[in-house]
Structure 1
C-alpha cells in the first residue's frame, strides 16, 4: 500500500522488451535508502517489485497487463517517473490509501493557472465516473490529489507549487496520458451495494432508510 506522497522523481535508464513484457531500470536515490529484493515501489502509481538494485538504480518487470493498462508502456530512456516506497505501518498517511493498482489512463484536456495553482482537467473513461466525486481523492501518476470538479467523463484537479516541483504532473501537457487510480474505499462501497450471486436483495439506500441508518 502507498499514500500518494511522492518521494522523488526518478529517471528511466533503460527499457528491455520481452514477449508481451518488459524490464525497466530506473535511476533513483531516496527510495533505495532501505531497499531489499522483492520490495514494492510505486512507479507513476504502478506497484512494481524490485528484482535487482544497486546504489543508484533498480530494476522491475512489467507484465502484459501492466503494459496494456498503464502509461508505462510508453516509457523510454530518459522518461521521468514519480517514485514512492510502500507505506510503513508506523508512518503517517499523508495522502490517502493508494493500492498501486491502476484503473485506467486519463488524458490531459487542459491546464489553466489561477493564483498560485494550476487547474488541470482530464478526460476519464465514463465507467469510472461513479468513483470520482467532487472533494474526493484520486491518485494521478501515483500522486494523491483532491478532485475539485467531476463530470460524466472528466475531472479537474489543482496542482499547488509543491506538487508541481516534486512530481512529474507539472510538466504534463494537453494530450498527455496519466495513470489513474480511483479511491479504493469507493470501489469497495459500490461492491457492497451490489447483490451477491443468488440474492435478490442488496444493500441499497432504501434498505438503509428502512433500518434507520439513513
Structure 2
C-alpha cells in the first residue's frame, strides 16, 4: 500500500528483457538506502518487488501482465521515474490509499500553464471513466492527485492541477503532450460498485 506522495525522482538504469518479462534496474539513493529483497517500491505508480540492491540501485522483475497494463515497457536508460516506498503504520497519509495496481494508461492531451501551477488534461480508457469524479482522487504515474474536472463525451478525459512542488519533484513536471502515463483509480470506488451492483469490473 502507498500514499501517492513521491519520495524521490529515480532513474532507469537498464531494462533487460527475458522473453515477455524483464529485469528493471532503477537508481534511487533514498529508496535503495534501506531496501531489502522482497520489499515493495512503486515505480511510476506500479508496485514492484525488490529482487536485489547494489549501492544506490535496485532491481525488480516485471511480468507480462504489468507491461500489458502499464507504460513501463517504454522506459529507456536515463528516463526519470517516480519512486515511493511502501507505507508503514506510522506513515502520514498525505495523499490517498494507493495500491500500486495500475488500471490502465492515459495520454496527456493538453498542458495549460498558470501563474504558479499548471492544468493537465489526460485522456483515459472509457471503462475507467465511471470511477473518476470531480474532486475525487486519482493516481497518475504514482502521484496522488485531485480531479479538477471530468468530461465523458465525446472523449473520456479529466483535468488535474499541478502545484509547483509536484511540477518540480515528480516526472509530471516534464512530460509533454502525447506522453503515456499510468493510471490507478480510487479502489474504494471499485469496491462500492461491486457491492452495489454485484458486478466485478
TM norm structure 2: 0.96
- State the partner residue of 1:144: 144
Structure 2 residue ranges without an equivalent (≥5) = none
- State the partner residue of 2:23: 23
1:168 matches 2:186: no
Q: What is the rounded CA distance, in whole Å, between the counterparts of 1:173 and 1:13 in structure 2?
A: 22
Structure 1 residue ranges without an equivalent (≥5) = 198-214
Report runs of 4+ in structure 1 exceeding 6 Å deviation.
none
Q: What is the rounded CA distance, in whole Å, between the counterparts of 1:103 and 1:80 in structure 2?
A: 21
Distance 1:196 1:85, change over 3 A: closer
Matched residue of 2:6: which SS? coil
Q: How does 1:1-214 map to 2 (within 5 A)?
A: 1-152=1-152, 153-195=156-198
Residues 127-146 of structure 1: per-residue CA shift (max 9 Å, x gap):
11110000000000000000
Query: How many Å apart are 1:33 and its aligned residue?
Result: 2.4
Q: What is the rounded CA distance, in whole Å, between the counterparts of 1:22 and 1:179 in structure 2?
A: 18
User: Would you say the 8 A contact 2:71–2:182 is kept in 1?
Assistant: yes
Between structure 1 and structure 2, the one with the greater Rg is 1
TM norm structure 1: 0.90
